[in-house]
Amino acid sequence: MPLDERKKSILRAIVEGYIQNAEPVGSRSIAKNTDLNLSPATIRNEMGDLEEMGFLLQPHTSSGRIPSSQGFRFYVDSLMERYRMTNAEIQQLQDAMFHKIRELDKIVKDVSATFSNITNLPTFGVLPTISYGVIKAIKLVSVDGKTLMVIVSDSSGLIKNKLLRLKTPISETMVEEITQALNQHLVGYTRSEMNLDRVIEVINAVGDNHEILSSVLELVNEAISEIDRREIYMEGSSNILRFPEYNEITKIKEIFEFFDDKQGLESLVNHLPSISDGKVKVFIGDENQLPQLKNNSVVLSTYKAGANLTGIIGVVGPVRMDYARVVSGVEFFSKQLEKMLSQEFETEPLPIQKQLNGKTSKGDE
């Protein structure tokens, strides 16, 4: 049976009251704090109907009501008003997004941390990836006499930096010679196609310094492997302790073991239904397929980096979360990140080309 406007207003008041205070909401509170102009007795009758319909739960006989998962779902789908992010929140995200770091993993990690601070919820970011990306460019840059930076880009525009410590100094001439050989014989191939024949071609082209070349090839392979692999970052895990739902040690232990488990985070992403349309999705309680998340909610959206790459950004928290604020934040975050990354990956020059011109940033060690 469809809900009339009175029941919708009472359900909205209970959901928002419970989100704010983490306590059951009673009829007197609704009568006092809303403009419904209804008596507590009338409100109790409506609350009883909502409970019978599955939208509310009564934890104790004499207590008020709390929303059920069905009640939260109806609120998110039909009752929730759009939250407008503050100028300070918007500025925080934009500052993180437009930081002068050009490696995608650092961008997503930094912005995820900022977003976690804004929402006070654990935030996860999944890097966009493309399977078996083709090597587009390789560049060696001499950081100092005994340190080389190996910069690798694939066909999608993703880049990865690696640092190589040398036992003896290497000349700029040799750095350039190895760079040319790597690009001549490896560019245009996937990691799986970097077979022995191509490695031998590079070795023959370079001649001397086989020991250095061996280390460089190892880092190139490692960089491409990391680009191909789906990276997942979880930021702000400790924010979950702000919520009274996690006061019990067993719940704390369960959720932190999940956050710390790389396979658990991968399972979260792999168990998600298709979400490639870029719209914010909300999974409440039992709607989550993983048993570790049955008492939690997940809010997420996809973002694109160029035409062919899609990543995911989302938050995990209690079923009693501020959905209006979180949904608006995820939507804003994903759109802004997509806008910035699309410009980064589609507008020439690409980040790797900037670095080939000597504008390098500090890479991974």
Which residues in the chain are classed under CATH 3.30.450.40? 87-129+230-346
CATH 1.10.10.10 positions along the chain are 5-79
- Does 7 score more than 60 pLDDT? yes
Per-residue confidence (pLDDT) for residue 353, from 0 to 100: 37
Q: Is it the case that residue 211 has pLDDT exceeding 90?
A: no
Least confident of 153-157, 239-243, 294-298: 153-157
Q: How many C-beta atoms surround the C-beta of residue 39 within 10 A?
A: 12
Segment 101-127 mean pLDDT = 80
Cα(29)–Cα(63) distance, rounded to whole angstroms? 12
Residue 37 in this model has a pLDDT that exceeds 60: yes
Of the given ranges (73-77, 297-301, 334-338), which has the lowest mean pLDDT? 334-338
Q: How many CB atoms lie within 10 A of CB 232?
A: 18
Question: Does the pLDDT of residue 54 top 90, yes or no?
Answer: yes
| Burial (CB count <10 Å: 0-12, 13-18, 19+), residue 344 | middle
Q: Which of 6-20, 190-204, 243-257 has the lowest mean pLDDT?
A: 190-204
Question: What's the confidence (pLDDT) of residue 1?
Answer: 66
Average pLDDT over residues 237-241: 89
- Cβ neighbours for 232, distance < 8 A, ≥ 6 positions apart: 124, 125, 126, 127, 262, 265, 266, 269
> At the topology level of CATH, where does 5-79 sit?
Arc Repressor Mutant, subunit A (1.10.10)
Position 232 scores a pLDDT of 80
**What residues contact residue 260 under an 8 Å CB cut-off, 6+ apart?**
237
Look up residue 278 and give its two tokens: 């870029």
Written as one letter, the residue type at 170 is I
The mean pLDDT value for 4-30 works out to 94
CATH architecture of 87-129+230-346: 2-Layer Sandwich (3.30)
Alpha helices (H) in 187-270, listed in sequence order: 196-206, 210-228, 249-260, 262-270
Residue-wise pLDDT for 142-158, tens only, equals 887 788 889 888 776 66
pLDDT tops 80 at residue 248: yes
So what CATH class is 135-229? alpha beta
**Report for 30-44, 90-104, 275-289, 292-306: range of highest mean pLDDT:** 30-44
Residue ranges matching CATH 3.30.390.60 in the chain: 135-229
Across the range 23-39, mean pLDDT stands at: 92
- Please, which pLDDT band fits residue 361 given cuts at 50, 70 and 90? very low
